[in-house]
Structure 1
């Protein structure tokens, strides 16, 4: 076949694909028309627009995409759903003539799609009247004031290229779609509030009824941790926020079902306590928080993996799918959440038993990334005495670098629980965005509530951390600053993912130096480590070299420090704390 013939064949294939796409669009429009008819017969007085449903559709498709970029999926389906909506009922976007500008019109077009007709009303009152009485969406540069134009609510925000709000979409939408309540204020938070926000890094379960059954079972269980224990951790972290203590947080990259044992829990706990004893020699009390009893899932930079021509979803942790490279194993199973819950319960029981046996030892609290929100919601409990909600899945949870979108589901969930919250802060985080996240997650500025966990890499911490620390300090934030010197220092040696202890130590030392320069307490360290003698990270006095990586490389996700390497870091941290104390004494 000549090159010309091949091109003709490929173009014919594209034409056939285009025909199939068109046929599917026609089917979708027909199904939408049937939905519109059903809505009409039900007497629904709300707009046909369903923002939450649209966000869920886009997030689901983005999570399933292989080659298609997430931004392309959002743009394509935005236009498709906008035209579908117009097929159900002609819906206008009404703007205020007094606020007219080419920039605003362009941003509205980009945000809502080209299918919506734009109209201009003389003043704000007329814009709101039309949104109340007609099939119309009001878009105004100022949100609703308290009690203004009920039952209209703000349901969406139009943003500029810098992420700042330029206008607010207002209309007659269902309560679960609203960003504000009927009085113009924020709607009451519930454990399910995250479902109206776009969710990243969440598995797509093929069996929705099985997921619902698992959620129901989890919701019927007692919380894994008690409110009083969480409160005790918050009090301990408040001491860290005041500069009187240091947070030591560490443990497995991702817990495993197969490798669980009481001996493993004991080894990891002893390593954490041993490190704490060394760090305490620097002159500060130590708060011990394990990455355990819930750390069964990991966000992944790649949604898909390929082997021998076969492409399957990435392994996301035992709570989501299996490690075996088969379609069956890599399919997310909600029943795995039940096993994660059972093992977390056993781990917490073991930690409690160790404390009873050794009453002289400090408590070890449990933490994990609040990634799987179906699980977190099901285990969230309300304290009847205070009315506050607590994540019953662990003492502390954190929001990751890939899920900390200000308008995202994970931030929405974390904003409503009373547990201590960690927030991973990487090089892409701008100071102004950090301040907005702090306001969202810690509006009362409570010491012990929020831990900002930097993760930059040895080569970027110098340029990235100082502006963030400076912004938080100038804003008067009581948030704790900690460093995660693991995640920014990954490297690859002969196809093996690893980390160099020298890079980890460099970033740790830089963290203390920058904190001192910015007048901030260097409040903690966050490590991935194992109580077992693994050979996953390079360097240290134990002499792990490249040839040793294959000897005991046991991690199924990211490389962990072994006990000798972890204790070496603890010794360095103790010295850095002592140096910081000397600096303060000299300054006084």
Structure 2
């Protein structure tokens, strides 16, 4: 446990919650720092630094996720298992954006569904561990916890508070570059060929099955023909909608010391209040001169302004734990990873704590069971949510329950297992009268060979060709598009019924 110290954050609200009230609870996956004074100095600096995102952006995402919960959109969330500071570079950022844009294009055009795009980036630097230490060559070392805690080299394993500042500045640089790209026609639907990674990064001999490439090219040609036709007859409509997209950032809210310092009390955007949300937020006094309120009061709320969307991991979702305590007080949309260990009777109390106003789509339940286990657990979890009266976003993470280790010691996943879990989830939601509204994948736009199978027909012997992950195995570019086509075909089939 880290040493606690008095907070300089906003005082507790009337509900007893503050960005630091989690300190009264048990902290799982905590980090121990040698020098508490050094940690305090860093945290005080973080508290003074400007936000990375704005409340209006967070509220916009909440509105979109409300539509996902209502079955009107689909959530696409993807990115690295855990980012390295070295990934904060032009090419890796562009490549991740390109693969997410291509996947969303397949879903929009092929599946005829609106898409919410959330990237696992600009903050996904921490990683939970099953054990706090590991033994290497007979010597015990602190486990590598991610670049915002310690370094992978054995001489950098001591947790360093300065890495929290490194996480902030690398996140800020990533967010800034993503904003610049999206503002400069990077996502222009009139030129989707500029998103292509395949020709530049994959030599054709690596693409053993050309079907994905040809299917994607055919779809792009159809889209460009449609846009050209609409432009010719002057019926293109909102041109801005075809030239850029919304791309939101997300990460696991693991290090509460960091998250609390980027949590600020701010006015709720006026347009949100004017739209009459399902449940009113508590009003807090503000300056009487506030132009937005004739009565001299203004609605305020706590936002984590370090990202748009955070989630609680399967290891840190204890009902009386520190992470649930922290997450219950922020206005951001939040996710919760749900695995086989989640008892159905825990779901309603968890949702009541995290979403007491019962906002539609405020909570995303991200299921991760493992292929062959979905039918055992998912129907009971769906029934528990239905009985609770909460309306959540259901999202499938087909990756985390399907990790295995090869005889040579490499962690990998089998693409057919990933597809099986995702397909079973779609089927069961449909059978239960529920809506699977999203997919959550660990993926990269880089030409890695970490997952077996897919349209490239990778086998175990291929893993060493370009095995790059220091954490969990990811889908590469081709395998990511395979997943997008699978989902699009499900929606297409559903539309035809």
Q: TM-score range by the shorter chain?
A: 0.7 to 0.9
- Per the alignment, residue 463 of structure 2 pairs with 549
Instruction: Specify the structure having the higher radius of gyration (Cα).
Output: 1
Deviation, structure 1 residue 259? 3.4
SS in 1 for 2:480: helix
Q: What is the CA distance between 1:60 and its match in structure 2?
A: 6.2
2:403 corresponds to 1:520: no
Please name the residue that 2:417 is paired with: 503
User: Do residues 344 (structure 1) and 171 (structure 2) align?
Assistant: yes
Could you tell me how far 1:442 is from its partner in structure 2?
1.0
User: What residue in structure 1 maps to residue 135 of structure 2?
Assistant: 306
Distance, in Å, in 2 between the alignment partners of 1:263 and 1:447 is 37
Structure 2, unmatched stretches of 5+, are 186-239, 268-297
- 1:429 Cα deviation from its structure 2 partner: 0.4
Q: CA deviation at 1:194?
A: 0.7
Once the two structures are superposed, the pairs formed by residues 54-133 of structure 1 within 5 Å of their partners are: 59=1
In angstroms, what is the RMSD of aligned CA positions? 1.8
SS of 1:389's equivalent in the other structure is: strand
CA distance in 2, matches of 1:345, 1:294: 9
| CA–CA distance in structure 2, aligned partners of residues 444 and 581 of structure 1 | 33
Alignment of 1:417-456 (within 5 A): 417-456=330-369
Task: Give yes or no for contact 2:117–2:246 (8 Å, CA) kept in 1.
Answer: yes
Counterpart in the other structure of 2:246 = 363
Q: When the two structures are aligned, how many residues end up with a matched partner? A: 403
Displacement after TM superposition at 1:240 (Å) = 0.4
Deviation (angstroms), 1:257: 1.2
The residue that corresponds to 1:473 in the other structure is 386
- Asked whether 1:572 is paired with 2:489, we answer no
- 1:302: how far off? 2.2
Distance 1:287 1:60 in 2: 37
**Equivalent position SS for 2:134:** strand
**Aligned 1:266-285 pairs, distance under 5 A:** 266-280=94-108, 281-285=110-114
Q: TM-score, normalised by structure 2?
A: 0.79
2:260 is aligned, of 374, 377, 380, to: 377
Which structure has the higher relative contact order (CA within 8 Å, separation 6+)? 2
For structure 1, the 5+ residue unaligned runs are 1-58, 62-174
- Contact persistence 2:398–2:418 (CA under 8 A): yes
Distance 1:314 1:525 in 2: 30
Residue 485 of structure 1 aligns to a residue in which SS?
Answer: coil
1:186 offset after TM fit, Å?
8.2
Aligned counterparts of 2:32 and 2:492: Cα–Cα separation in 1: 48
- SS, match of residue 386 in structure 1: strand
Q: Which residue of 2 aligns with 1:35?
A: none
Counterpart of 1:387 in 2: which secondary structure?
strand
CA–CA distance in 2 between the matches of 1:564 and 1:516?
28
2:299 and 2:173 map into 1 onto residues whose CA distance is 29
Give, in angstroms, the shift of residue 434 of structure 1: 1.0
Partner of 2:181: 354
1:187: Cα distance to partner?
A: 4.2
Distance 2:494 2:353 in 1: 31
Matching of residues 167-566 of structure 1 within 5 Å? 187-280=15-108, 281-326=110-155, 329-358=156-185, 360-384=243-267, 385-493=298-406, 494-566=408-480
CA distance in 2 between counterparts of 1:475 and 1:515 reads 17
Mapped partners of 1:551, 1:203: distance in 2 = 35
Tell me the SS of whatever aligns to 1:383. Answer: strand
TM-score, normalised via structure 1 length: 0.67
The CA deviation at 1:406 is 0.5
Q: In the alignment, is the contact (CA less than 8 A) between 1:516 and 1:580 conserved in 2?
A: no
- Separation in 2 of the partners of 1:504 and 1:199? 32
Equivalent-residue separation in structure 1 for 2:259 and 2:381 (angstroms):
29
Partner secondary structure for residue 397 of structure 1 = strand
Runs of 4+ in 1 over 4 A off after TM superposition: none
Deviates more, 1:372-381 or 1:382-391: 382-391
Distance apart, 1:283 and its partner CA: 2.2
1:172 corresponds in structure 2 to none
> Could you report, residue by residue, the CA deviation over 1:205-251 in whole angstroms, capped at 9, with x for unpaired residues?
11101110111001001111000010110111111011000000000
531-540 vs 443-452, which moves further: 443-452
Measure how far apart 1:543 and its partner are.
1.9
SS in 2 for 1:488: helix
Which runs of structure 2 are paired with 1:36-47 in the superposition (5 Å)? Answer: none
